[in-house]
Amino acid sequence: MAFKINHSHWEVLVDFMEKHPDLARGSFSGPNGKQEMKKLWQQLSNILNAIGMGERSTEKWQKTWCDLKYTIKKRASQIHKDQKGTGGGPSSARNLTPFELRILDVLGNTFHQGVGSKEYGARISLELLTIKKCFIS
């Protein structure tokens, strides 16, 4: 019998991630970081499996979260790209749902937009190359 994730599972999953943003981002550090992450995933798996509709392993719940993050990142990036595009008119991508926005809030803007720093290295290198050519010629 195939396991079917229902609305209750998604709500519990996102609520848990909102309470444990390091788990959501996979950013545990320190000497006990890996053990803490395993412990929280096991705790979350037990809570999700207690809802009913079958059982999944901790690894499968981790994969579910990973797949969900990937899907939302892809959609958010497309919307961001459409908004930055030229030509006017409305975005061709549909807006994110409140549920998806909650997940992005936990993960942060850099998750789907990047750090947003400008690259200056290429311009400086080209300028130096031009100056070098002037002196060599």
Summarised one tens digit per residue, pLDDT across range 65-114 is 989 888 888 888 887 777 776 666 666 667 888 888 888 888 876 555 55
Chain mean position to CA 15: 16
* Non-local CB neighbours of 58 within 8 Å, separated by 6+ positions: 41, 42, 45
Q: What is d(CA 38, CA 66) in angstroms, rounded to the nearest whole number?
A: 15
User: Cα–Cα–Cα angle for 50, 56, 57, nearest 5°?
Assistant: 110
Q: Residue 4 carries which DSSP code?
A: -
- 2 lies in a domain? no
- 76 lies in a domain? yes
Q: 46 is in which domain, residue-wise?
A: 7-114
- 35 lies in a domain? yes
Domain count along the chain: 1
Query: pLDDT, tens digit, for every residue of 50-64?
Result: 998 888 899 999 999
Query: pLDDT, tens digit, for every residue of 3-34?
Result: 778 889 999 999 999 999 888 888 877 788 88
- 126 lies in a domain? no
- 109 lies in a domain? yes
Token code pair at residue 79: 């919307």
- 41 lies in a domain? yes
